Amino acid sequence: PPSLNTVVLTGKRDAHSLLLNDTGLRNKMLLPVAGVPMLRYVLEALAGCRLVSSVFISTSDPDIATFASPMPF
C-alpha cells in the first residue's frame, strides 16, 4: 500500500481567544475535549491510519513539542 508523510500544523495563539485566555494555554491544540487535549485525538487518528508512515508536527510552541515528543512516530 502507498505510504503518506503527514504534517500537523499547530498554529500560534490568537491573542483574542477567550478559551485560551480562560485556560491559560498558549495553543488551541492543547485545549481539552472530554478531558483530552485536541492534539492527542489528531495524533491517535493518524497513528491508526495504515497509510500514514510518518507524522511531522509544525510548531514554535514548546508546550506542543513537549506534549508530542513521546508519541511513537
Q: Which of 38, 48, 53, 41 is nearest to 7 (CA)?
A: 53
In the predicted structure, residue 73 carries a pLDDT above the cut 60: no
- Pairing verdict, β 32-33 and 36-37: antiparallel
Rg (CA), the chain: 13
Whether 72 contacts 23, CB under 8 Å: no
Q: pTM of the prediction?
A: 0.79
Mean model confidence pLDDT for the chain = 84
Predicted confidence (pLDDT) per residue in 2-31, tens digit: 899 999 998 776 667 776 777 777 788 888
Identify the pLDDT of residue 14: 66
Cβ-Cβ contacts under 8 Å for 26 (sequence gap 6 or more): 13, 20, 61, 63
In the predicted structure, residue 1 carries a pLDDT above the cut 80: no
